[in-house]
Amino acid sequence: DGGITQSPKYLFRKEGQNVTLSCEQNLNHDAMYWYRQDPGQGLRLIYYSQIVNDFQKGDIAEGYSVSREKKESFPLTVTSAQKNPTAFYLCASSILSGQGNSPLHFGNGTRLTVT
């Protein structure tokens, strides 16, 4: 079955440490996205990528970094510069279609807790 896999489901880190969240898809989608979800704030876009070796900042990119070395993979690193990293992180993918239907497909999320 095609889908998006995020790992791990729960992650605990000490303040000051960088941490990398994994996202893999086998849907053959060109576009991939990272969102952050906080209670009552909906989804906020961190980074997105349309093609391998290229990515763009979203609305809240500060303190985060990404890479897109393979079409299937889009890992997110939460750096020590991120002031409030505890949140639920969602990865998504989609086809690239400006005029056509291109819903996002989501993974099951990673809950990061930093103490």
- The piece of 12-20, 35-43, 65-73, 79-87 that touches another protein (CB under 8 A) is 35-43
From candidates 11, 27, 45, 52, binder to another protein by CB under 8 A = 45
| Least CB distance to another protein at residue 98 (A) | 5
Count, residues near another protein per rule CB under 8 A = 29
Residue 27 engages another protein in binding (rule: CB under 8 A): no
- Looking only at the bridges linking them, the beta strands covering 10-13 and 110-114 are parallel
| Residue among 66 and 90 whose Cβ is closer to another protein | 90
Residue 64 engages another protein in binding (rule: CB under 8 A): no
Tokens found for residue 61: 């990119």
Closest CA to 34 of 22, 25, 50, 45: 45
Residue 53 engages another protein in binding (rule: CB under 8 A): no
Q: How far is Cα 52 from Cα 72, in angstroms, rounded to an integer? A: 9
Q: Quick check: 66 and 76 in contact, CB under 8 A? A: yes
- Looking only at the bridges linking them, the beta strands covering 19-25 and 31-37 are unpaired
Residue 74 engages another protein in binding (rule: CB under 8 A): no
